[in-house]
Amino acid sequence: MGIDPNFDRNREQVGEENGVAVWGPVDPPEKLGIHGSHVAVDYDICVADGACLEDCPVDVFTWVETPDHPASERKVEPTREDQCIDCMLCVDICPVDAIDVDASRS
Domains contained in the chain, CATH given: 7-101 (3.30.70.20)
Model confidence at 103: pLDDT above 80: no
Residues marked as binding for [3Fe-4S] cluster? 46, 52, 94
pLDDT digits (tens, 9 = 90+) for 40-76: 999 999 999 999 999 999 999 999 999 999 999 999 9
Model confidence at 4: pLDDT above 70: yes
Closest CA relative to residue 26, chosen from 11, 5, 36, 6: 11
Cα Rg of the chain, angstroms: 12
Residues marked as binding for Zn(2+)? 35
Residues marked as binding? 35, 46, 52, 56, 84, 87, 90, 94
Share the mean pLDDT of the chain. 95
Q: How far apart are CA 105 and CA 81, in angstroms?
A: 11
Residues marked as binding for [4Fe-4S] cluster? 56, 84, 87, 90
In this prediction, residues 93-99 reach a mean pLDDT of 97
Q: What percent of the chain clears pLDDT 70, i.e. is strictly above it?
A: 99
